[in-house]
Each structure stands twice: as structure tokens, then as C-alpha cells.
Structure 1
């Protein structure tokens, strides 16, 4: 065994009382391990913080972005892709390359940057063109300066206060942001998979 493992084993505190050891899994009611319970523990570890916010008084409340997404007046397929984007599950090329898949991480649309969520939705020349035509290029540039992650930028845009959105002069700006993000992902999919329709 490795010395580091031996050191960790020896540092486990022992009970001061004479009792027999038993195997127990604290994440199930019966103390028995199951793959399902392990999956649940890992899922909670990775995603629960995204689903809930702490109000600082020991209570947690649902993250307002999820309520905002499901209230959007747009097709369910748009809401679903926004939900997937905010969970970081889009198969962009950087993610695939990081998972050791043999794919170039370069953007298939512009070939000028590494394709992560931020590039795909906000920094790619195609994305910049879409946001500029909608008159949102200034607010997108401001949002890109705030955070490095595309998911965080999209969440920021969807949670902008109503008074900031009304300044833009559009009605249903959140829907426009969501549908524009869906459109960019749809165009990318057509290009990558060489779909004609």
C-alpha cells in the first residue's frame, strides 16, 4: 500500500468503547449501499447548489433562474435547451475534448476560438452578429466582462431586472434572449451534423 494511504488509514479515529465494527451507508434508511443512492449523493453534491440559494438564515430557497425559465412564453424545446445550457450539459467541443473524445476544440462556425458555451453563445462571429442585429451587443459585451462562464452570462441576462430590460425598448426581452440562444445552438447543430433542413 502507498505511504499516503497508510497515513490516512492510521489517522482514522478509533472508538474508545469496545464494540464490533459494522458496515453502514449513511445515505440510505437501511444503511445498505446502492448505486442509486451513490448516484443521488453525487448529483446532490454537483447540482444541488445550482438549484437552491441560501438566504443566509439557514434556509434555502429555489434558485430564481428555474422559475424564470419555466415562466417564459416560448416553446418547451427552447426552455429545455436553456435548462440544459445552464446545467452545463451542452456537447460543445471543449467539453468533448476534455472528456478525451477525438475532436478539435475549435469552433466549427468561425474557427477563431475554442468552442465552449461562452464562445458558442456570445463570442463567435455568428453569435455577435445575431446579438448586434437584436440591438443587444452592448449588454452582451458588458455581461461577458462580468463572468468567464457562458452559463453564468446566460443566467445573468435572463435574471436582469425588468427596468433594465424595458430600457432596451422591446417587449418580452427574456423570451428573445432564450430564443436567440436556442437559434444559435440550432444553427450550430445544423452545421456540425450537416443537416440541410
Structure 2
């Protein structure tokens, strides 16, 4: 027998099944088993269910079958029920480059904040009417946004070029035509593959974290912007990440044969 679960909410809240559908449908036993408050919604569901079951003819010789309408093969499974919870959800496109990349959790979380434009830059402070610097603390030329800070201005582009030159990937450094940090991250990641891609993603997260912490030292500690100083810190972090298990990063920094 085929049973359509159109009114599962009603069944779950008002009807206790005796063990199988045939016992509940025999002589319409399910009607006498209704429990709970008869709200307008319950009564409407009841009338719909009555219409649905009024023409059902039991076939005792045929075993009951559960049909999962959300499963491609028509069979109910825990997996199909779980996947139904995500119907209508939207895909966060850069999730894999963030959460599947080797990096300390705080750094991956930082890049996740970048993707959602949740970093407390001057632009974000201004939108909330909070005190903020009028210009970027590193270049003192343009308003500070997270994309500007991490790749769309001369300080960051010079940092990335010199940082990537150390691992012979300078061709992947951001160009003046880049629109956003994540667009560049996507382009750089898609240009490579395998362990090189993993290492490139780790390297970009490391560089972004270095620029952010360097910016914070300039804002809160009064430090002077210094590409050389940022590179020294990035190189040390790179060494520590490789020691901690960043295999892709270790591959990028390994000496070339005969080098």
C-alpha cells in the first residue's frame, strides 16, 4: 500500500499509529485515536486527511511501503531526511577554500569574516556612526575597506609580490585590476591544483592575517607601516605553520633541486 505523507504534522501531533498503517485504517480507527486540542488548523488537516484516505482500499496481501518523495530513488532514508533540512538554503561559495585549508582556526575564521565583510575597518565603523580614521592607516591615501587593506592598494600589492616571490609564485600576486580579496583568492586558487593549491591557499590566509595584525599594530600601538617588518613576521609564521603540519605550505617553501 502507498501512503502519501502530506499531513505528517497532523499525524505526528494527533494520531498515534498502532504499529502499521493497515491497523490504523481498518474501520477508520485513526479517527477515534485523535488526541489533543482540536484547533482550527487541526480540523482543517483532519478534513483534508479524510478526503485523502476515503478511497483507500486495503490490500492485506501487499506489504506496506514507505515512499520518500524527497529521495531520487523514491526510498526513504535518514540521509534524504537530513538533506531535506537544507532545501532552500544558499551555498556559501568560498567555504571550501576557507575551512578545508590548513591554517590556525583563528586565521580561517578571520578569512570567513572577510567573506562576510564583518571586519572592523574604518569603513565598517563609519557605517555605524563610530569614530574612525578618514584614511587607511597604512597608505594614508584612501578610505580603509577590507579589500583595500588586503590587496587593492600599493602597500598590500608590494607585500604580496615580495611574499610570493619567495616561493616563486609572484605571477599570482594581486593586480591593480582586482576587485575584491576573495575574487583574487579564487583566481589564485583556481590557477593551481593539488598540494600546490593547498599551499597557495594557506599562504594567502597567512599573508592576509599578517597584513591585518600589522595594521592593528599601526592603529593601536602606533607602529610605523613597514613592508619589510610585515615580511619578517610572515616568514616566521610560514616556518611555524610548516612545522605544525601545513603540507602544502611545506611543499611551496621546499628548496628546488640544485638550488
- With structure 2 as the length reference, what TM-score do the two structures score? 0.44
Instruction: Provide the residue aligned with 1:178 in structure 2.
Output: 205
Q: CA RMSD in A?
A: 2.9
- What is the Cα deviation at residue 143 of structure 1? 5.6
Counterpart position of 1:140: 174
| CA distance in 2: counterparts of 1:143 and 1:175, whole angstroms | 23
SS in 2 for 1:88: coil
2:91 to 52, 62, 66: 62
Give the 3 Å change call, closer, same or farther, for CA 132–108 of structure 1 in structure 2: same
Partner of 2:228: none
Q: CA offsets per residue over residues 16-69 of structure 1, 9 Å max, x none?
A: xxxxxxxxxxxxxxxxxxxxxxxxxxxxxxxxxxxxxxxxxx965632311221
Q: Gapped runs of 5+ residues in structure 1? A: 1-57, 148-152
Structure 2 gaps, min length 5: 1-86, 224-232, 234-259
Q: What are the equivalent positions in structure 2 for 1:2-151 lying under 5 Å apart?
A: 62-133=91-162, 134-135=164-165, 136=170, 139-141=173-175, 144=178, 147=179
Q: Which has the higher contact order (CA 8 A, sep 6+)?
A: 1
- Cα 1:142–1:127, aligned 2, differ >3 Å: closer, same or farther? closer
> What residue is the counterpart of 2:221 in the other structure?
194
Over 3 Å counting, the alpha-carbon distance change for 1:107 and 1:161 in structure 2 is closer
Tell me how far apart the structure 1 counterparts of residues 114 and 189 of structure 2 sit (CA, whole Å): 23
Counterpart of 1:28 in structure 2 is none
Question: How far apart, in 1, do the equivalents of 2:123 and 2:100 lie?
Answer: 31
1:195 is displaced (CA, Å) by 7.1
CA–CA distance in structure 2, aligned partners of residues 114 and 195 of structure 1: 19
Change (3 A) 1:99 1:188: same
Residue-pair matches, total: 131
Runs of at least 4 residues off by over 2 Å: 58-64, 102-105, 123-126, 135-139, 153-163
Please tell me whether the aligned partners of residues 128 and 137 of structure 1 are also in contact (alpha carbons under 8 angstroms). no
